[in-house]
Amino acid sequence: MGVGRRLGNLLGSAGVLAAVASIAFGLPAVDRAIPAGRPVPAGEPYEIGGGVTLVPPAGALLDVTKSRPGPDRGTALFLIGAVRCAVVAAPFTGTLEEAAARLRDKITATRGYQVTGREADVRTQSGLVGRQGGYTAPGRGGRYAVYLAGPVVVEVTISGTDLELRDVLRTIEESITTIARTGTPSPARAGP
């Protein structure tokens, strides 16, 4: 009876190990097999979060693994070929100059990234005022823009190789001009 019981325990343990291994290795494999990029409706505003929308660039895919709209803040990552266009909306109480400095600091905090050239004043179709500039990174270039939409800051970063950017930058810049504040963001929720 002792051998039969041990054999039963061994088979049971092997079954549990097989189930754990299939979860540990199988689910990530399935996750990788499902593309993160999803098409977005052409010409329709996408809710970034915090009451902010933008019409995505033509032909863009939304990376659903990196996009999180919310009532008081949100993020969206659009992919246009190999070019990435990240849009972040979050509560902010400072000035446009402070918002631009904060975004520049975020960019240059990454090793090898440098802000280049001068910033320029920009305005969206809805009248939001902002600042835009450029940056370089190892093997890549980029643009950034920052806007104030009432109590919300909207940060946009675009990155790709010079060749990739040249082909789609105009389309992305046209999309950025559609940033609008469509409503009042919900008050920030208190943490647990």
Q: Is residue 99 part of a domain?
A: yes
Residues 156, 145 contacting (CB under 8 angstroms): yes
Q: Are residues 70 and 131 in the same domain?
A: yes
Query: Looking at the domain assignment, is residue 187 inside a domain?
Result: no
> What integer pLDDT is reported at residue 6 of this predicted model?
75
Cα torsion angle, 88, 158, 127, 56, sign: negative
Asked if residue 25 and residue 56 are part of one domain, the reply reads no
Q: Would 191 be classed as within a structural domain? A: no
Residue 96, domain member (yes or no): yes
> Which parts of 107-188 are beta strand (E)?
114-123, 129-137, 140-149, 152-160, 180-181
- Tell me, yes or no, whether 53 and 146 share the same domain: yes
- 29/45 same-domain check: no
**28 and 1 assigned to the same domain:** yes
Please tell me the total number of residues recorded for the chain in this structure.
Answer: 192
Helix, strand, or coil (residue 106): helix
Domain count of the chain?
2
Do residue 28 and residue 44 come from a single domain?
Answer: no
Same domain, residue pair 119 and 89: yes
Same domain, 30 and 41: no
What pTM was estimated for this model as a whole? 0.78
pLDDT at 169: 93
Walk along the chain (192 residues) in steps of 10 and give the mean pLDDT of each run.
68 64 54 59 91 94 92 95 96 97 96 94 97 94 95 97 92 96 57 30
pLDDT of residue 51: 94
66 and 25 within one domain: no
CATH number of the domain that residue 70 is part of: 3.40.1000.10
Which domain does 60 fall in, by range? 37-181
On whether residue 64 sits in a domain, the answer given is yes
Query: Are 53 and 125 contained in the same domain?
Result: yes
**Is there a domain that residue 188 lies in?**
no
Q: If you write DSSP's letter for every residue of 39-90 in order, what string do you get?
A: E--TT--EEEETTEEEPPPTT-EEETTS-EE-SS-EEEEEEETTEEEEEEEE
Residues 174 and 79 in one domain: yes
Q: Is residue 144 part of a domain?
A: yes
| 3-state SS, residue 95 | coil
Instruction: Looking at the structure, tell me whether residues 152 and 73 fall in a common domain.
Output: yes
Query: 3-state DSSP call for residue 190?
Result: coil
Other CB atoms within 10 A of residue 129 CB: 12
Backbone angles phi, psi at 161, to 5 degrees: -70, 160
What was the pLDDT predicted at 106? 96
4 lies in some domain: yes
